[in-house]
Amino acid sequence: MKKNKAKNSTGTIALNKKARHDYHLEDKLEAGMALQGWEIKSIRAGKVNLTDNYVIIQNGEALLVGCRIAPLTQASSHVICEPERARKLLLNKKEINRLIGAREREGYSIVATAMYWKKCWVKLEIHLAKGKHAHDKRDAVKDRDWQRQKERVMKSSV
């Protein structure tokens, strides 16, 4: 008997597309998350919102703030759920020290860009990021439109 395939074969649960628009993304890290049982059930149901999130570092621990995991009514009837609680990220000491150094010395922000399954664990892709100015955003849109236009011209000339 074969197992049923997941809805999306890539394992992606949620993306933060706004982060690519608002920040220059640089270094990428993969972090695990300390989650409760009802959160896993909600994640499997796709009830995750990653927009407007960021990572803070307190007492030597990395915490994800602003990620909303909506509770399922049937899975969380006996538990008090906090959909927007700060969730601990599982990183080793060396990675946390690197994040602290980049944030304090170089002025980087730490932003989560994707949540995905890796085997049976939920992983979070976080980036060190610099904020974009309004003119940077306009330039990015202009470049993207130009690339699209070039592809159309090349496709029609073939």
pLDDT in the model for residue 22: 84
pLDDT in tens, 49-61: 998 898 999 999 9
d(CA 81, CA 101): 34
Nearest-10 Cα torsion for 66, 99, 113, 133: 90
**Under 8 Å between Cβ of 45 and 7:** no
- One-letter amino acid of 97: N
**Cα–Cα–Cα angle for 22, 28, 31, nearest 5°?**
110
- For the residues 115-143, what does the mean pLDDT come to? 86
pLDDT in the model for residue 8: 52
- One-letter amino acid of 85: R
Q: Is residue 142 part of a domain?
A: no
- For the residues 28-38, what does the mean pLDDT come to? 92
The CA R_g of the chain, rounded to the nearest whole Å, is 19
User: The CATH number of the domain where 16 resides is what?
Assistant: 2.40.280.10
- Structure tokens that stand for 23 in this block: 């920040």
Domain holding 16, by residue range, is 12-133
Q: Is residue 31 part of a domain?
A: yes
67: nearest Cα among 138, 122, 14: 14
pLDDT in tens, 67-112: 999 988 776 567 778 888 899 999 999 999 999 988 888 888 899 9
d(CA 130, CA 149): 29
Q: Is residue 3 part of a domain?
A: no
pLDDT in the model for residue 75: 61
Task: List residues bridging with 127 in a β-sheet.
Answer: 28, 111
Q: Is the pLDDT of residue 7 over 70?
A: no
pLDDT in the model for residue 157: 79
Q: Is residue 158 part of a domain?
A: no
Q: Is residue 7 part of a domain?
A: no
Q: Is the pLDDT of residue 140 over 60?
A: yes
Q: Is residue 98 part of a domain?
A: yes
Q: Is residue 55 part of a domain?
A: yes
- Structure tokens that stand for 148 in this block: 């699209």
- For the residues 135-153, what does the mean pLDDT come to? 83
- For residue 158, the number of C-alpha atoms closer than 13 Å in the C-beta half-sphere is 6
Q: Is residue 67 part of a domain?
A: yes
**Under 8 Å between Cβ of 125 and 139:** no
Number of domains in the chain: 1
